[in-house]
Structure 1
């Protein structure tokens, strides 16, 4: 038998297939949550106050320096670096999220009234959408902070106090949740695969300890029931689906034990009925004849006649003894002897007692079900007894053959004939026995050439013999 794949690797593979999409979905949800939290921070009043403070400091420095140059660029770079630090009170932990998303997520500019960059914290210029907005906001009559969100792009514009032709611009370019998810997946897929594998193995081991152990108890109980130990129970205390199935299975040996007891009682009743019928058909009739012969002996004064009557009485006693021996032999268990061998031994023993030759073909005996063997033994005993008593035959052919899904048991003698299917208690006994077989029937043909008895019945599913 090929070695089968155990349940543990199957469960691990199943949970791996389940865990990878789940981990990807969780990562996308995390990216969405981070994006929403970051946008709320960028829309907060705290960031607006930070921009206002920075523009005031920048205006003061420009006024003191009276020029825009290298020092202003460094001021913008330092401000961007402060904003990108986790310790800064505005972004806090969101600074790490920004750093993971893009190389330059934060940029600061000084622009003139025409929206042209005068000083830039990083080279690269404006985002086009932000530049178009800045051009539309070119009039600087409003000294307050203005900002605009365009998808994942946040742009803040604040004119410098006291410097009418300069404005401070702060720009945040975020990654959308989908972009952030794809970027992480490209970088972190080995980690995600390892996480999925570890989760799958952990889930598989957990289920193996929790589920497979319970299934093993069910299997062990089933093996005990198979060996006849019907007192074994699974006794699963859990109330889940497996526990409910175990509870139903625990009822099986109880029902099976009750069924076996009922079947044994029924078999005992059938066996008692068969024994009573056999005693009635053989011993009782011969005992009644013996009583009649003894009564005749008592009332007959002629010694010669009494001697003949006593001889007949001894013959009847011998028949009664032989009938009792046959009935007792039928009741004895014959362990390990095939049914065909038992039939052949009985037929040969009858042939030796009667002096009648027999031809035997029992090729279909192995197909006779165990429950049908007693009936077949009784049919054979009754038929051979009739041959011995009435036929004066010199040969009997006995065959038991299988024809597809049917069995045929035939007893053919070369005697005087004259038997009829409706005549005598012995013929009725054959008919009743044949009727107890599945779809069984008996046919009797008798003429001057002899008598033929055919018993046909349907093959049972269970055909094994002890």
Structure 2
């Protein structure tokens, strides 16, 4: 009821009644002044109050009639139509239009014209956004093809630079060991130990390359926990590593955060396979309040960070750091010769 009294109709009625009261007061003041100063015979106190009373009654009726059926009703209809039009735009229906009741141009007609023009502009913008989305999808497909080609070239370089060299060295050591087998068995044994070490190194390089051949992104509908667990299950079958995984369930995690974290973990496991010579790897992803905490640890040989050169391991670490910073997070690594490597990442999380 309180809201109804604030409607356009009742606002006009209150305005009319206020004007009626002011007019009645002015008329009463004028008539009483005439009565007091000149005292005409035809002007009596009874006639004054009778006139003012009739004036108030007739004015009250006319105010109600004007507020309900004329100006107030007209504006209410127009404002209701404008309100419905705005709701249509809010719901995404930009083709809706308001038709004008009459040809005369007033303030409400100008508002209606501007709303109709706004709907046309919004509709054109939606069409432009849809075209941009289609173009973006085409660009994404082209970029994906280019990325596939670049990744193949990178893997070919890694095979040439790492595995092929290890295999070449393995072949040379094997030939030397065969030549020394009869002359110097102890030296041949040392050569065979080098062969075993080189074979393990080549095997680790190959596993790391196979790890990068896995899908770059998580499978559609697959959570981060499922993707990481699937990745680790495959590694456990092909290596001697023991994994300890602890990942919180986060169904509302943004897709871009999931993809970047998956790639960071993939890169870190690749580095561990190639360089760490570790036995145990720990992977933890925890949510604490509005932040994600990622920890990846291994008990491998470690390295002295100040002596780390611009090699494949440092390139992988640089990539992980860049991905963390792209998410607005921080990346920290701690390692020492013979004491393993610890990676700590903190990323702000606002959900999906």
TM-score interval, normalised by the smaller of the two chains: 0.5 to 0.7
Post-superposition Cα deviations, 1:90-111, rounded to whole Å, max 9, x if no partner, equal: xxxxxxxxxxx9xxxxxxxxxx
Q: Distance in 2 between matches of 1:355 and 1:203?
A: 83
Task: Give the total of aligned pairs.
Answer: 317
TM-score normalised to structure 1 length: 0.51
Residues 274 and 427 of structure 1: CA distance in aligned 2, closer, same or farther (over 3 Å): farther
Equivalent residue number for residue 215 of structure 1: 86
Equivalent residue number for residue 440 of structure 1: 330
Cα distance, 1:413 vs. partner?
A: 1.3
TM-score normalised to structure 2 length: 0.65
Q: Distance in 2 between matches of 1:262 and 1:177?
A: 82
Cα distance, 1:260 vs. partner?
A: 4.6
Equivalent residue number for residue 158 of structure 2: 285
**Secondary structure of residue in 2 paired with 1:171:** coil
Which aligned pairs between 1:209-358 and structure 2 lie closer than 5 A?
210-221=81-92, 233-234=95-96, 239-240=110-111, 241-243=114-116, 245-246=118-119, 249-250=122-123, 252-253=125-126, 256-257=129-130, 260=133, 279=152, 282-289=155-162, 323=209, 326-331=212-217, 334-358=219-243
Is the CA contact 1:153–1:172 (under 8 Å) kept in the aligned structure 2? no
Residues 356 and 295 of structure 1: CA distance in aligned 2, closer, same or farther (over 3 Å): closer
Runs (5+) with no aligned partner, structure 1: 40-100, 102-128, 130-148, 156-169, 223-231
Cα distance, 1:357 vs. partner?
A: 0.9
Which protein has the larger Cα radius of gyration, Structure 1 or Structure 2? Answer: 1
Is the CA contact 2:267–2:320 (under 8 Å) kept in the aligned structure 1? no
Residues 322 and 430 of structure 1: CA distance in aligned 2, closer, same or farther (over 3 Å): closer
Residues 177 and 252 of structure 1: CA distance in aligned 2, closer, same or farther (over 3 Å): farther
Which aligned pairs between 1:351-430 and structure 2 lie closer than 5 A?
351-363=236-248, 366=251, 368-418=253-303, 420=305, 422-423=308-309, 424-430=311-317
Find the partner of 1:454 among 328, 334, 344.
344
Cα distance, 1:259 vs. partner?
A: 6.4
Q: Distance in 2 between matches of 1:252 and 1:219?
A: 15
Is the CA contact 2:276–2:301 (under 8 Å) kept in the aligned structure 1? yes
Q: Distance in 1 between matches of 2:305 and 2:52?
A: 97
Cα distance, 1:281 vs. partner?
A: 5.5
User: CA RMSD for the aligned pairs?
Assistant: 5.2
Runs (5+) with no aligned partner, structure 2: 100-108, 179-191
Q: Distance in 2 between matches of 1:353 and 1:361?
A: 21
Residues 338 and 287 of structure 1: CA distance in aligned 2, closer, same or farther (over 3 Å): same
Which aligned pairs between 1:151-190 and structure 2 lie closer than 5 A?
155=40, 171-173=42-44, 180-185=51-56, 189=60
Q: Distance in 2 between matches of 1:200 and 1:327?
A: 75
